[in-house]
Structure 1
Amino acid sequence: MLKRLMFSLYLGALAAPAWSQTAETAPAAPVAEAAEAVPEQILVTGQRPGPGLWKISKDDHVLWVFGSYSPLPKNMEWRSRQVESILAGSQEYLKQPMAGAHVGFFRSLTLLPFVVGLKDNPDGAKLKDVLPADVYARWQRLKDKYIGKDNGIESERPIFVADELYSKGLAHAGLSSGGEVYAAIDKIVKKNNIKSTSPGVELEIDSPVKALRDFKKSTMDDVACFSTTLERLETDLDAMRVRANAWAVGDIEAIQKLSYADRESACKAALTNSDFLKSQPGFKDMDARLREVWVTAAEKSLAANASTFAVLRLKDILDPQGYIAALQAKGYKVEAPQ
């Protein structure tokens, strides 16, 4: 949700991963190091089903949970007959939990001339001024490969530049954000006139004007986020293809067993530990608040419907402290796909 979070501070596209869901949904947490270097992988194409569904039940009421993932093969067509059948027969579709600001906040932002330059480093600093020399040299090599000539990006904060570079690197490697999966699910929901519920947390921002001014002046320790992004693109692209293929054919174990540099945690930490965000009480404890809001919505849906269909990030499903674990702790029966 980092893009969504930062969109609450300006009207453009923003950086890095998320508390809930973003263009980059981080991979499931690894459980072991890869035994050896991953050979270059050819991405799967054609129609693929993705993983099976998690079944959460109580009495004769069932919540089916589909695990989303990103990045995915760009030329893959996702289609799961199991998902189509179960979703079409469900009474409610539970979307992923999201956080966002009130509509009035966005309207007020459009009136602010100083939204321009919000992504820039404070005091006119350039990337070469805020990055260690070795990190900047690595950036230059990857910039030449994936972005090309763009002097303007040199003025932006590392966290924003990392997001742009990562997106371009994935596209170059034949990977996409996986948005077509959500589009396909939405199409089924609309076709069958299924009730759609969007669990969410509204971000509280008292003064958009002051928030924007404070953010533009604030510093942020986002070098780790930037360095981890470089590492993912330098060393992990082939393993990303392995994981993308594994999701496409429903091999969750293959996704879990490959280690990777945790870009999401590094970039989220840069934002959550910034003085700016610490000064915004409405942004506190977002992980826990989103999980609580989703679990409440899931319990309500389970009580009301014979069948509910939900989508969660695969990472949140597999997390032993995550969303599904929270329901299991409340006494619901959880069955993983075979």
Structure 2
Amino acid sequence: MRRLALLSFAMAALIAGPAFAQAIDDPEANVVEELVVSAKLPGPAWWRISDGDTTIYLLGVLQALPQGQGWDTSVLERRLDGAFAVILPPEGKAGLGDIPAALALRGRLKSEVPLDTAAASLAPKLARARAALGKAPDAYRQWSPLGAGVAMAGDYRKAVRLESAEPERTIARLARRHRVKVRPAATYKVMPVIRTAVRGHSPEAGLVCLEGVLDEVNAGAGAARAAARAWAMGDVRGAISGPRNFQRCLLGLPGMAELERRGTEDEVEALSAAMKTPGHAVAVYGVRSLVARDGVLDQMRARGFQVSTPGE
């Protein structure tokens, strides 16, 4: 999973004109247009990094796919043949010792002030979102705005059947079939990240987060499903045009933009290290992180590696 998807998964496990306009530090807001190219090969889009004796094929993926969303894996299977590794985005780790801290942070996401009072300006959006999710009028009442946003985002994903384990689960299964070792670009401890986000966020950031989730819920699943269909067909522009409201919500929390940049740096370092091994490998990174300005491909090109687009 991408770094922000990792955080949203972990926070959900704890449960889960705009009146609160706030400048969000979004490292992936802008893209490099010449990298946003539709694929010529069947299935999702691939980019390629190469030097004299090493080639790494990069498959750009979404954070989640609708349940049952099929995609052509023929190019992936062909590139897994003889690959020396499959490199995934950074992953999060948590242990049994983190359970007490998780329970304590869960309590911090609750509030004695009813949600409708704390987020009075969002009352119409709240009412529509509750109805869209089939929830009672007092649902999420005990949560703070941030807690309600996290919980509602989890309920929304369940309602529209978005699978956060895909497409990585399918990729890992095929890698095992081809006997290729899978490794993350880096490993992070989850609890310090969550602790900083929960303890340090301002009331304004919590309201921004909730509003972003409400906008995504009220917009319906059409945009997310359209982005998934575009991704499966190799339409890069369509794939990166999907909703990012919850991602922007998380980026407004303390430490999250820094985590996103650190993740990109670790992905670049993992690719650079892999380029020292002759042969070919496969990397599976978030599609927007690949094409973002100062993103993975932009940085690899700056390091002198040859970068090819899905249209080449």
TM-score category (smaller protein) = 0.7 to 0.9
Cα separation, partners in 2 of 1:74 and 1:144, compared to 1, 3 Å: same
Q: Distance in 2 between matches of 1:72 and 1:113?
A: 27
1:125 corresponds to which of 108, 113, 119 = 113
Aligned to 1:22: none
Query: What secondary structure is seen at the aligned counterpart in 2 of 1:179?
Result: coil
Matched-pair contact (CA < 8 Å) for 2:90–2:186: yes
1:54 equivalent to 2:43? Answer: no
Matched-pair contact (CA < 8 Å) for 2:43–2:75: no
Query: What secondary structure is seen at the aligned counterpart in 2 of 1:315?
Result: helix
* Percentage of matched positions with identical amino acids: 17
Matched residue type, 1:83 = L
1:288 corresponds to which of 261, 282, 287 = 261
Q: Distance in 2 between matches of 1:125 and 1:193?
A: 54
Aligned to 1:166: 153
Query: What secondary structure is seen at the aligned counterpart in 1 of 2:217?
Result: helix
Aligned to 2:298: 325
Q: Deviations over 1:196-249 (max 9, x none)?
A: 22222534978x9xx69x956975421112112222232364333322211121
Q: Deviations over 1:278-314 (max 9, x none)?
A: xxxxx89323322222212111111114101000001
Matched-pair contact (CA < 8 Å) for 1:28–1:255: no
Matched-pair contact (CA < 8 Å) for 2:65–2:166: no
Cα separation, partners in 2 of 1:155 and 1:198, compared to 1, 3 Å: same
TM-score, with length taken from structure 2: 0.77
Query: Which ranges in structure 2 are unaligned for 5 or more consecutive residues?
Result: 17-27, 34-41
Query: What secondary structure is seen at the aligned counterpart in 2 of 1:66?
Result: strand
Q: Distance in 1 between matches of 2:29 and 2:198?
A: 31
State the 1:317 CA deviation: 0.9
Matched-pair contact (CA < 8 Å) for 2:14–2:102: no
Query: What secondary structure is seen at the aligned counterpart in 2 of 1:67?
Result: strand
Taking the TM superposition and a 5 Å limit, the aligned residue runs for 1:49-128 are 50-98=43-91, 100=92, 106-111=95-100, 115=104, 117-118=106-107, 120-122=109-111, 124-128=112-116
Q: Deviations over 1:75-118 (max 9, x none)?
A: 222331010110132111111123x45x5xx3323356953842
Aligned to 1:245: 229
Cα separation, partners in 2 of 1:195 and 1:224, compared to 1, 3 Å: same
Query: Which ranges in structure 1 are unaligned for 5 or more consecutive residues?
Result: 16-26, 33-48, 278-282
Matched-pair contact (CA < 8 Å) for 2:156–2:217: yes
Cα separation, partners in 2 of 1:317 and 1:223, compared to 1, 3 Å: same
Q: Distance in 2 between matches of 1:319 and 1:218?
A: 26
Aligned to 1:268: 251
Matched residue type, 1:118 = G
Query: What secondary structure is seen at the aligned counterpart in 1 of 2:251?
Result: helix
Aligned to 1:297: 270
Aligned to 2:22: none
Q: Distance in 2 between matches of 1:252 and 1:6?
A: 24
State the 1:148 CA deviation: 1.5
Query: What secondary structure is seen at the aligned counterpart in 2 of 1:153?
Result: coil
Query: What secondary structure is seen at the aligned counterpart in 2 of 1:86?
Result: helix
Query: What secondary structure is seen at the aligned counterpart in 1 of 2:109?
Result: coil
Matched-pair contact (CA < 8 Å) for 2:109–2:144: yes
Cα RMSD of the aligned pairs, angstroms, is 3.6
Cα separation, partners in 2 of 1:110 and 1:240, compared to 1, 3 Å: closer
2:162 corresponds to which of 159, 166, 176 = 176
State the 1:74 CA deviation: 2.4
